[in-house]
Structure 1
Amino acid sequence: MKCISGYDREGYGDKFSDAAIVGHTTSSEVRIWARVKMEGEFSLVIFENFKKFPPDDIADKTLEEYLAENNINIKAQLKHIFKYNTDLTHTFQFTGLDPETAYYYAVIASPGVRISRRWRLGYEKPYSFKTMPLQSAVVSFGVTSCHDPFKKGYATGGGLWDEFYELLDEKNSDFVIACGDQVYVDATEDDVWKWLNEHKDCLYKAYANDINGLNDFCVSVYRRVYRKYWQSPGLQRVFSRFPTYMIWDDHEIMDGWGSYTEKERLDLLDYSFDFWDDEMDEDEPEESDKFKQLLIESMFAAARKVYIEYQHSHNPQPDIDPSVNDFQLDYQFNQNNIGFYTLDMRGHHDFEKNPEGERLLGRQQFDRFSHWIQSAEVKGRDALFVVSPVPVIHWHSTFVNSLDKLSAKDDFRDEWDHESNYKERDKLLDLVFAYSAKSGKAVVFLSGDVHSSAIFELTRDNAKKANVFQFTSSSITRPPAPWVSELMTLSKGKLGVNDSVRNNEVTRFKKHAFIAQYNFGLIECRKNPNGKLSIWGSIYSGGRDSELRGLSKKRVQIA
Structure 2
Amino acid sequence: MDANSQNITGPVLFLDNLTDTTVEIAALFIAPVGVPVPNVTAEGVSVPVEPLSEFRTATVWRARFRLPVGSQSGYDWNGKHYPVCCDFSDAIRIGYVSCNGEEIGDLDREGSERNAMWSRLKSDHQHQAFALLLHGGDQVYADEVTHGHTLSRDWPDDVPPDPSQADLASLRDHLREGFYERYASLYASPEFAWIAARVPSLMQWDDHDICDGWGSLPASKTHSGVGQTLFSVARESFLIFQQATTDDDLPGRFVDPDGLHLGWTVRTAALRIIAPDLRSERSRRAIMGPGGWTMLEEEAKDPMPGQTFLMSSVPLLGPRLSILEALMVAVPRMQKYEDDLRDQWQSRAHRAEWRRMLQLVRTMAIRDGHDLTVISGEIHLATRGTMDLGDGLHMHQLVASGIAHRAPPKAWANILGALAWLGDAPLEGHPIQIHCLPGQSSRYVAERNYLRLERGADSWSAIWELEDSGTTDPLAL
Name the TM-score class by shorter chain. 0.7 to 0.9
Equivalent residue, structure 1, for 2:9: 18
1:42 Cα deviation (Å)?
A: 3.3
Contact 1:417–1:496 (CA under 8 A) maintained in structure 2: no
- State the alpha-carbon separation in 1 of the partners of residues 256 and 305 from structure 2: 31
Structure 2 residue 165 is matched with structure 1 residue 209? yes
Residues 324-356 of structure 1, C-alpha deviations (whole Å, 9 max, x = no match):
6x523110001442111002111111114xxxx
Paired with 2:170 and 2:256, the residues of 1 have a C-alpha distance of 21
Equivalent residue for 2:417? 489
Shift of residue 556 of structure 1?
Answer: 4.4
Note if contact 1:141-1:523 (Cα within 8 Å) is conserved in structure 2.
yes
Q: How many residues align?
A: 440
What does 1:512-523 align with in structure 2 at a 5 Å threshold? 512-513=436-437, 514-523=444-453
Q: 1:496 to 1:350 in 2, by over 3 A?
A: farther
Structure 1 segments unaligned to the other structure (5+ residues): 1-14, 49-73, 107-121, 267-291, 353-358, 528-532, 543-547
- Structure-2 residue corresponding to 1:458: 387
* Conserved? CA contact 2:149–2:171, under 8 Å: no
Does residue 118 of structure 2 align to residue 168 of structure 1?
Answer: no
Within a 5 Å distance, the mapping from 1:51-450 to structure 2 comes to 74-81=44-51, 84=54, 88-95=59-66, 97=68, 99-106=70-77, 122-123=78-79, 126-133=81-88, 136-148=89-101, 150-151=105-106, 154-157=109-112, 158=114, 159-186=116-143, 191-196=144-149, 208-210=164-166, 211-263=168-220, 265=221, 293-313=224-244, 316-317=251-252, 327-352=260-285, 359-375=286-302, 379-403=303-327, 405=329, 406-450=335-379
Q: Tell me, yes or no, if the aligned pair for 1:223 and 1:306 is still in contact at 8 Å.
A: yes
Q: Is the 8 A contact 1:338 1:383 kept in 2?
A: yes
Q: Are the aligned partners of 1:100 and 1:130 in contact in 2 as well (CA < 8 Å)?
A: yes
**Structure 1 letter corresponding to 2:225:** L
Note the C-alpha offset of 1:153: 5.2
SS of the residue corresponding to residue 445 of structure 1 reads: strand
In structure 2, the partner of 1:35 is 30
Contact 2:53 2:61 survives alignment (8 Å): no
Structure (1 or 2) with the larger CA radius of gyration: 1
C-alpha contact 1:452 1:517 (8 A) present in aligned 2? yes
Structure 1 residues 343-382: Cα deviation after superposition (integer angstroms, max 9, x where no partner): 2111111114xxxxxx11112211111111212xxx2321
**Maintained 8 Å contact 1:523/1:537:** yes
CA 1:79 to 1:257, structure 2 compared with 1: closer, same or farther past 3 Å?
Answer: closer
Whole-Å separation in 1 of the counterparts to 2:87 and 2:476: 24
Q: Deviations over 1:264-287 (max 9, x none)?
A: x38xxxxxxxxxxxxxxxxxxxxx
Sequence identity (%): 17
- Give the residue type in structure 2 aligned to 1:141: I
- Could you tell me whether the CA contact under 8 Å between 1:151 and 1:479 is conserved in 2? no
Check 1:94–1:152 CA distance in 2 against 1; reply closer, same or farther (3 A cut): closer
User: How far 1:316 moved relative to its partner?
Assistant: 4.9
Which residue among 459, 471, 475 is the counterpart of 1:553?
471
Scaled by the length of structure 1, what TM-score is found? 0.71
Give every structure 1 segment of 4 or more consecutive aligned residues whose post-TM-superposition deviation is greater than 4 Å: 149-153, 197-201, 318-322, 490-493
1:279 is aligned to none
Counterpart code for 1:293: S
Measure, in 1, the Cα distance between the counterparts of 2:414 and 2:148: 34
- Letter of the aligned partner of 2:12 in structure 1? I
Distance 2:324 2:369 in 1: 32
Write the deviation string for residues 505-543 of structure 1: whole angstroms up to 9, x where unpaired: x4321413232101111011223xxxxx3221111112x
Question: Following the alignment from structure 2 to structure 1, what is the Cα–Cα distance between the partners of residues 7 and 256?
Answer: 28
8 A contact 1:142–1:168 mirrored in 2? no
Verify: 1:473 aligned to 2:400, yes or no. Answer: yes
Q: C-alpha distance in 2, partners of 1:42/1:476? A: 30
Query: Judging changes above 3 Å, is the alpha-carbon distance between structure 1 residues 556 and 394 closer, same or farther for their aligned structure 2 residues?
Result: farther
CA contact (8 A) 2:300 2:364 kept: yes
Contact 1:259 1:351 in 2 (8 A): yes
- Summarize deviations over 1:123-170 as a string: whole Å, max 9, x none: 3x543323345xx21121111011117559523342310101111231
Partner AA of 2:241 in structure 1: Y
Q: Secondary structure at the match of 1:160?
A: helix
- Residues 97/34 of structure 1: CA separation in 2 closer, same or farther (3 Å cut): farther
Q: 1:316 to 1:456 in 2, by over 3 A?
A: farther
Indicate the residue corresponding to 2:440 in structure 1.
none
Rounded to whole Å, the distance in 1 between the matches of 2:462 and 2:432 is 20
Among 435, 448, 459, the alignment partner of 1:534 is 459
Provide the rounded CA distance (Å) in 2 between the counterparts of 1:320 and 1:493. Answer: 38
Q: Distance in 2 between matches of 1:85 and 1:304?
A: 16
